[in-house]
Amino acid sequence: MRHTPSRPHPGREPSMANPRRIYPENAPGEFFVDTRCIDCDNCRALAPGVFGQRPPAAGRDGYAYVVRQPADEAERRAAIAALAACPVACIGSRAGVRPRAAVAASFPLHLHGPVHLLGASSRKSYDGKAYLADLGNHRVMVDAPRWEPHLAEWIAAAGGLDLILVTHRDDVADAARYAERFGARVLVGAADADAYRGPGLQPVAPARPAPLAALMEDPGGPWERLEVIPTPGHTEGSLCFRLDRRYLFSGDHIAFSRLTGRPYGFRNYCWYDWGRLLASVRLLLDHPFEWLLPAHGRYGHLPWPQMRRDLAEVARRGAA
Ligand code: SF4
């Protein structure tokens, strides 16, 4: 993984963590988690050696805390990335690392091939992850982070933003600000399109998986590399996007479990139709990919034969 640091952008700083209101489990030292944690898992995914979870119990929610302070510079960078990604700014640094500087130091974070993690999760999307695919002459954002001037500057320096793909209604976040800044089109499933209020909206409702090029006014070019897969279930208008037959941006359709490391569906957070969601999982069995890149839950890699077996198991167990 690599990232592209730059100077933090001047302007209003997001709210800061409060060192006087921290969880008692925090290991003493530079980093701490204050009591506003919403247990979204972003910090544990980025810096698993540093952040742990106090699981939910009767009468209280779960929360994250600092299990131990970073052991080396790589772990400290990971902790700073976690501070940047925290949607409620409840991770603090007694060494004075501030959220905006942390975003500038950590994101976009290169994950693999053309895919970058944008960090800066937004509370508007319930802290969902957003990605950027750099396709050479074109850049595509998948779901949107909170508005961060540093991210906008990075995208501008890379050549701008052509398209924002929204996997479902919950993950619009600050898409409108990015669309306005770059004149980008915004593709949303038709049944979820009312959730987006901003410029460039293009609702789509493919009846079956379709090359993105077939849905664009200017087919060809990089759009041939992307495929739109309708996956109703979590919401009626949920879409997955497959890039290069290798990367699946899955929104809240499926994700890796932080507990098992295997794909799973969010049965307790299925807003539309669990049966339709399982049918959408079965649809993916004919669409190979090896990188699963969700909005919530963990992202990761599995060889397709194993991924396919696990997806079949999700569909089988979910229907039981
Ligand atoms: S990223 Fe922030 S809100 Fe999410 S679990 Fe970690 S400390 Fe809590």
Name the burial class of residue 271, with classes exposed (0-12), middle (13-18) and buried (19+) by CB atoms within 10 angstroms of its CB: middle
Tokens of 24: 């008692």
Strand 201-204 to strand 210-211: parallel, antiparallel, or no bridges (unpaired)?
unpaired
Tokens of 301: 């890699």
Q: Is the distance from the beta carbon of residue 228 to the nearest atom of ligand 1 less than 6 Å?
A: no
Q: Is the distance from the beta carbon of residue 201 to the nearest atom of ligand 1 less than 6 Å?
A: no
Backbone angles phi, psi at 85, to 5 degrees: -80, -15
Distance CA 119, CA 94 (A): 22
- By most ligand atoms within 8 Å of CB, the mutation choice from 16, 36, 40, 117 for ligand 1 is 40
**Closest ligand 1 atom, CA of 91?**
7
| Location of structure tokens 């379709």 | 210
Which residue puts its alpha carbon closest to atom 2 of ligand 1? 86
Which residue puts its alpha carbon closest to atom 6 of ligand 1? 43
Which residue puts its alpha carbon closest to atom 8 of ligand 1? 37
CB 153 within 8 A of CB 238: no
Question: Could you report the per-residue pLDDT of 210-256, keeping only the tens digit for each?
Answer: 999 888 877 767 788 999 999 999 999 999 999 999 999 999 999 99
Nearest of 187, 199, 201 to residue 240 by alpha carbon: 187
CB count, 10 Å around CB of 171?
28
CATH class, range 113-319: alpha beta
CB 38 within 8 A of CB 48: no
Was domain 2-105 assigned CATH 3.30.70.20? yes
Q: Is the distance from the beta carbon of residue 66 to the nearest atom of ligand 1 less than 6 Å?
A: no
What is this model's ipTM?
A: 0.99
CB 116 within 8 A of CB 41: no
Q: Is the distance from the beta carbon of residue 254 to the nearest atom of ligand 1 less than 6 Å?
A: no
Split the chain (320 residues) into runs of 10 and give each run's mean pLDDT: 36 70 95 94 94 89 96 96 91 92 90 94 88 94 94 96 96 97 97 97 93 81 90 97 98 92 90 96 97 95 97 89
Distance 31 CA to ligand 1 centre (A): 13
- For the chain, the domains span 2-105, 113-319
β-strand partners of 140:
133, 163
